[in-house]
Amino acid sequence: MTYKKNYKTNKPYVPVQVEVGQKLKLTITRMGINGEGIGFYEKKLVFVPGAFPGEKVTIKVTKVNFNFLKAELINLRSKSPDRVEPRDSYANEVGGFGLECLAYPAQLKFKQDLMRQALKKFKPAGWQNYKVRSTMGMDNPYEYRNKAQFQIREKDGKVMAGLYKEGSHDLVDLPTCSVQYPMTMTVMRKIVEFIQELEIPVFDESNASGIIKTVAVRAALNTDDVQVVFITNTPKFVKKGLMLKKISEELPQVTSVMQNINPGETSLVWGDKTVHLAGKTTITEKIKGLSFELSARAFLQLNSIMTPQLYEVAISALELTGNEKIVDAYSGVGTIGLPLAKHASEIRGMDTIEEAVADANNNARLNKITNAFYEVGKAEDLLPEWLSEGFKPDAIIVDPPRTGLAAPLIKAILKSAPEKFVYVSCNPSTLAADLVELTRKYNVDFIQPIDMMPQTARCEAVVKFTRK
């Protein structure tokens, strides 16, 4: 058998002989990017979800890789002082609660460290000297999610609504959920009750039959609007009239009911076609003194309580004088760009979702903003097009998805090199990777982590740049 050589000693590296199912003892030394505990067994990296730094644990190996092991926690031989009792019994079963056993101050410290880990991995220019600020957190890190998007399935004649267990398609019914804004759960559980009473067929993954696959409930924090979206396997929605009657009579807080059609077995939750069933086609949320109408598929930060703080950091970091032309990339419905309008001469934004762009332009009209314009398209396509037409931005703000900035967009940013530049990130790893190229022309003034999703390993951050 030929073994890889240790690059330090040039001697053959003999892999640790470990088998799936084997029980091991080790000490957790730090946390990884997904919130899992990390320890070492015979110098091999071991990932243990649910374990925290300083804890001595017994684990069972679930995966053996040449470079690492994955394992499940069997028992704690010594506990971290930061370990707490979770509010939700399913905290370690489904996504969205992974850090609920960790005291909140420790969560905030972890998210600051998460950013530092990413910088150390990708090593953008000058990364050792970046000012990574303490994480901005919530006074009450619960009941913040303004949208519940739960899978609907049936088991033993009972309709369930919830989330899948990690790495599986086993649905966990969620009758309560401490991180959800309470109104979303009130409406969700009633909808489940209606589906059960009316005996509406729910989706069966084994043969791709049934109708209701997913229910999404979004509640506006600063208005009385609630929207329900039924994501269905077919355009046909049996007993639709009876369902709408029940919603009207028993859920008067619901102001919009929509249906999204997403046929067959697919990893995508949403389909391309959305139809109006009752009430308004949108709901309205208020952010920083402006009103925003949101269609069913429109993106909005899940944490309406912290969103104004996130945007305040981003807007302040731009240090606008009122004369700037600004590009609002990955604009969504305009929730970042439109508050900037009164501080700028022109806002140009773009998004790939047509409904979101329609919402953004409508929101500009709704708020009587005349210097903001939004187009459908990819930021990496439209910004170079605008530059070729002679448009030169003085400032740019980007808020990309978890995949980060597309390479052509980075190239366009570096080509136009606006003096003022702010990056709002929801993924420390892709942010750090993007900084490798961006720091060719920009210095990083600061990175401000912001906890938009308490009880999870997710972390938002605002980066302020200064052109070199």
Tokens describing residue 433: 């990777």
Q: Is 456 helix (H, G, I), strand (E, B) or coil?
A: coil
- Per-residue DSSP letter, 271: -
Q: How far is Cα 170 from Cα 166, in angstroms, rounded to an integer?
A: 9
The CA-based diameter of the chain, rounded to the nearest angstrom, is: 75
Q: How far is Cα 417 from Cα 126, in angstroms, rounded to an integer?
A: 19
Q: Locate tokens 């912290």: which residue?
A: 306
Tokens describing residue 95: 């996504």
Q: How far is Cα 371 from Cα 383, in angstroms, rounded to an integer?
A: 18
Q: How far is Cα 253 from Cα 225, in angstroms, rounded to an integer?
A: 7
Q: How far is Cα 192 from Cα 253, in angstroms, rounded to an integer?
A: 16
Query: 459 an active-site residue?
Result: no
Give the bridge partners for 32, in sequence order.
none
Phi, psi of 188 (to 5 degrees): -60, -45
Strands 44-48 and 56-64, bridge-based pairing: unpaired
Tokens describing residue 141: 């890190």
Q: How far is Cα 461 from Cα 35, in angstroms, rounded to an integer?
A: 17
Q: How far is Cα 107 from Cα 465, in angstroms, rounded to an integer?
A: 26
Q: How far is Cα 46 from Cα 67, in angstroms, rounded to an integer?
A: 9
Q: CA triplet 268, 276, 355: central angle to 5 degrees?
A: 55
Tokens describing residue 275: 């139809």
Q: Which of 101, 177, 426, 459 is catalytic?
A: 426
Q: How far is Cα 336 from Cα 355, in angstroms, rounded to an integer?
A: 17
Decide: 51 and 37 in contact? Cβ < 8 Å.
Answer: yes
Phi, psi of 305 (to 5 degrees): -70, -40
Decide: 333 and 311 in contact? Cβ < 8 Å.
Answer: no
Sheet containing 273-279: give its strands across.
171-173, 158-164, 147-155, 212-219, 226-232, 256-261, 273-279
Where does 165-287 show beta strands of DSSP type E?
Answer: 171-173, 212-219, 226-232, 256-261, 273-279, 283-287
Q: Is the Cα dihedral 137, 82, 144, 47 positive or negative?
A: positive
Other beta carbons within 10 Å of 400:
20
Active site residues: 426
